[in-house]
Amino acid sequence: MSEPPELPASVVGVTIVFVDNNGIPRSRSVPAERLAEACERGVGMTTLFPIFLSNDGLTFDHPPLSNVSGDLRLLATPEMIVPLAGQPGFAWTPGRQFLNDGTRSPYCPRGVLERAVDRAATAGLEVRAGFEMEWFIGHSGEELSPAHAGPVYSPHAMLQVDEFCAQALGDLAANGVPVGQFHAEYGLAQMELSIDASDPVTAADRQLLARQTIHAAARAHELRASFSPVVSMQAVGNGWHVHSSVLRDGRNLMAGGDGPSGMTPEGEGWVAGLLRELPAVAAVAAPSMVSLLRRRPGYFASAFAFWGVQNREASLRFIPGGGLVPDAAANVELKPSDASGNPYLTLASIIGAGMAGLEEGLTLPQPIQEEPGSWGEQERERRGVRSLPATADEQIAAVAGSAPVSAALGEETVGAWTVVRRADAAAVEGQSPEDIVAAHLWRY
């Protein structure tokens, strides 16, 4: 284990963060002087976080976690400890969950992803991943009060929240989150940034750190950020698109081949595996009830399972290399993903699905460059375009029916994730879409 860094004198506490099955960050904090102990032995926490609901309730329908007995150790991660630029009294680190005997908890999301990455490495493959993050920026308070009025994609919109934008970019850089671009997006008071690609575990860690950084920058300027998949039923929602590529011997398998749009056979197999398992991958990447409300044709939310080349309505958007885009940057983008998806489990699902397609030598159908939502049902059926899961039961069935995704997550994690999905759906049964959106607005 690497040694924890020496912290600035201003840092009095270290927040150890993990994520539950609803994408909600949870944490424990320790005094700075106890950091070494937190790295070596961790801090105690309940075993019940895998069965927390979006509304902070609990479900006890998962037999291994059927009562309040039991304890885990949450360990700080020394190599990822970051003094927070926007919260000078605190440092931040992702947490790792262990049983008291020192073995990794099967419910630890970071551990699930580490195993998926190790499996790929054993096969001689390196996976790269990066997130695009969208969020609503508003004035402080419980009500939805947009902090900018557009125009979308305009510097005039950015000017209305200039001080926040400047602090967010500066703090992200100071916190070690490399940003590719930052702009006002298409939705209601919507912002977006992209995080540079990295190994998957670092990508998930950075996504969490970026979220914390943006919330702190917003608060500093009497603003409030919401990453909720939907903030208004009348507006485009917030996605957290996941870009992935796979390399062998340092070569990007998404480029330089004779397959579709320059893919190598293994690169095509990776994308084809994602396409085949897309209902399950999307269920993990965008699992909440408000995610399902977002999944509407014409709202850039990818309601249907299909792939396309640079098609922004495609649930799998392939970005080929060539010209100003180097081969190293060719990748496939998962569009049906958002803040309610645990980033570690999302990336583990992607790796499981992609690996299966690569190993089985799957091939892709012709890309679709249109919006299938404008087609009739018969045309979609003829073209093999399926709707993505639209209910919690359909999400559960999709994950249960996907051997690659279920294997990547592990039996225990699938079991807890399943009962949470079922209980989350029951908690909002009979509520209007507007009430569901309001209940989730500040969860993320």
The predicted-structure confidence for 55-102, as pLDDT tens digits, reads as follows: 999 999 999 998 888 899 999 999 999 999 999 999 999 999 999 999
Boundary residue ending a domain (76, 106, 136): 106
* Contact between 402 and 274 (Cβ < 8 Å): no
Residue 2 lies in a domain: no
Distance CA 308, CA 372 (A): 11
Do residues 229 and 366 share a domain? Answer: yes
Do residues 383 and 280 share a domain? Answer: yes
Do residues 206 and 353 share a domain? Answer: yes
The arithmetic mean of pLDDT across residues 202-231, rounded, is 97
* Statement: residue 301 has pLDDT above 80: no
The single-letter code of the amino acid at 26 is: R
So what's the pLDDT on residue 214? 98
How sure is the predictor about 5, in pLDDT bands with cuts at 50, 70 and 90? confident
Do residues 157 and 305 share a domain? Answer: yes
Range of the domain at 84: 13-106
Do residues 229 and 278 share a domain? Answer: yes
Residue 355 lies in a domain: yes
Q: What pLDDT, in 10s, does the model give residues 328-350?
A: 999 999 999 999 999 999 999 99
Do residues 363 and 284 share a domain? Answer: yes
Q: What is the CATH number of the domain that holds 250?
A: 3.30.590.10
* Statement: residue 299 has pLDDT above 90: no
Of all residues in the chain, the percent with pLDDT exceeding 90 is 88
Q: Which two tokens stand for residue 321?
A: 């290399």
Residue 5 lies in a domain: no
Do residues 99 and 163 share a domain? Answer: no
- CB atoms under 10 Å from CB of 358, counted, come to 25
- Domains identified in the chain, total number: 2
How sure is the predictor about 228, in pLDDT bands with cuts at 50, 70 and 90? very high
Residue 144 lies in a domain: yes
How sure is the predictor about 313, in pLDDT bands with cuts at 50, 70 and 90? confident
For residue 16, the cross-strand partners are 28, 93
Q: Under DSSP, is residue 272 helix (H, G, I), strand (E, B) or coil? A: helix
Average pLDDT, the chain: 95
Q: What pLDDT, in 10s, does the model give residues 112-122?
A: 999 999 999 99
So what's the pLDDT on residue 86? 95
Residue 1 lies in a domain: no
Do residues 73 and 131 share a domain? Answer: no
Do residues 188 and 330 share a domain? Answer: yes
Least confident of 62-66, 300-304, 305-309: 300-304
Boundary residue ending a domain (44, 74, 106): 106
Residue 7 lies in a domain: no
Do residues 72 and 147 share a domain? Answer: no
Do residues 82 and 149 share a domain? Answer: no
Q: What is the CATH number of the domain that holds 51?
A: 3.10.20.70
Query: Who's near 78: CB < 8 A, 6+ residues apart?
Result: 1, 2, 3, 4, 5, 39, 93
Going along 320-382, which residue ranges are E strands? 331-334
Distance CA 400, CA 121 (A): 26
So what's the pLDDT on residue 136? 97
pTM above 0.85, yes or no: yes
Boundary residue ending a domain (62, 89, 106): 106
Do residues 215 and 124 share a domain? Answer: yes
Q: Which two tokens stand for residue 110?
A: 């970071």
Residue 83 lies in a domain: yes
Give Cα separations from 413 to 111, 300, 352 (angstroms): 11, 30, 14
Phi first, then psi: give them for residue 242, nearest 5 degrees. Answer: -110, 120
Residue 180 lies in a domain: yes
